[in-house]
Amino acid sequence: MLTLPNGFVDRMKLQLGDEADAFFATLDTSSPTSIRLNHLKGKSPFETSDKVPWCDLGYYLAERPAFFMDPHWHGGSYYVQEASSMIMDYILTQITLPDHSRVFIDLCAAPGGKTGILAKHLRTNDVLVANEVVSQRRSILRENLIKGGYLNTFLTGEAAASFRQPIADLILIDAPCAGEGMMRKDPEAVRQWSTSLVQSCMMMQQQIVHHAVKALKAEGIMIYSTCSYSMEENLENIRYFMDEYSLENISISFPDDWGIKTIDYKGAIGYQLYPHRVKGEGLFVAVLKNNAANEESFYKSKRPLRLFEDALEWLAPQLKEAGHLRILKNNSSNPAITREAEEKAIEVLTLIPGAELISESGEQKGKDFIPSHFMSMAGLYNDQTTVIEVGLSEALDFLERSTSTLPQGNQLGWHIIRHDGTDLGWAKWTQQGWKNYYPMNWRLRDRRSK
């Protein structure tokens, strides 16, 4: 039986009243396992009949498999994501955003699950900034974004205080918190809990929003979430944000049978997902609109900034529909964006100089073009590229960076290795045989010892 801190137990009894016993009983059960299919290339070998009600690509699994042994997972065809956090997908369908090109910012983005949901709602003229200040977590975020194959996406590692200019039409702040909603599946969340931790998290969240609101355009939307249940981190903070920054609380309607609880504090409204009410972990979310008159300060000169160009003569034949893409100048890895998103991409690069486009197409080394892993994950390669379909065992060998079980090549050059419809990466057939270009740091390890 899970032993919870006394202070947490007492508070939740007051907070939940008659529902407290059901809540505590649920914390002694196993956490559900769920995945979200990639909207660009979703596929999985698992039975996916039990849907997450608030996410059209979310599914529960009957048991937790060894995901690292599934090539579709390595190929970014789905993301292992806690079901409650998928509520962001539904919320994004319920809010009103401008019709013009937009900038989305995921301020605390790692490991990238909610970023993937934002990417699903991007149009070809929008851009997405995935920010993570912790370098180790940012590396994981980068891997997940590249495997997702998300175009028009920037990676940044800025503190919230660095976002000083109103650039964003939407900011998602999945704020660092006391982690109460993780207690069922993470013993560390139980061990670390204290009332002082809750208070320190509340103050940190206030500091993050204090800076982040400066990056929000007038009438821009802020989605604030935590995986805690405390009033201090959740509704009391929402009331504080409303009073301090002229933010308007936006109501979201959820079907009654979803079990999402609407909670209120002095007129501030938020939504709590409790594990005894939904098939998922604990999550709080609220939606706010910026009614302050933030003036956009992006300087548009009479001579527009020309940071992008059409794909050069040597690069264009490598790309699918190269005419629809623009390439960042003076960058050896040749990051690509959609032509329609160029204006917003220039704004991001101007106001956030450290922003890095993840959508590398590849490098020219001597006379040889070296395609990027992103190019394979996003399907940017041209239609003449040779694809080699492999079975499960051969796919896992490839992911270990082995080439011993690949079939013999028929022509020299680059080939996409594919398993059951999911692209896994590049291999090159040379006079000496195969060379495996799956990223070394992401390779499958210790497969046969498991």
pLDDT exceeds cutoff 80 at 295: no
- The tens digit of pLDDT for each residue in 124-171 reads 999 999 999 999 999 999 999 999 999 999 999 999 999 989 999 999
Q: What's the Cα-to-Cα distance from 233 to each of 4, 191, 219, 266, 267, rounded to whole Å?
A: 19, 19, 24, 15, 16
When pLDDT is cut at 50, 70 and 90, the band that residue 367 belongs to is confident
- The tens digit of pLDDT for each residue in 1-37 reads 689 999 999 999 999 999 999 999 999 999 999 999 9
Contact 129, 102 (CB under 8 A): no
Residue spans per domain, the chain: 385-450
- Predicted TM-score (pTM) of the model is 0.96
The residues near 33 (Cβ < 8 Å, ≥ 6 apart) are 60, 61, 63, 64, 80
pLDDT exceeds cutoff 80 at 54: yes
CATH architecture assignment, domain 385-450: Roll (2.30)
What pLDDT sits at residue 298?
56
- The tens digit of pLDDT for each residue in 246-275 reads 999 999 999 999 999 999 999 999 999 999
Terminal CA-to-CA distance of the chain, rounded, Å?
A: 29
C-alpha of 117 from chain center: 6
- Please give the mean pLDDT across all residues of the chain: 95
- The tens digit of pLDDT for each residue in 27-46 reads 999 999 999 999 999 999 99
Helix pair angle (6-16, 20-27), 10° resolution:
140
Q: In angstroms, rounded to a whole number, what is the distance separating the alpha carbons of residues 275 and 443?
A: 35
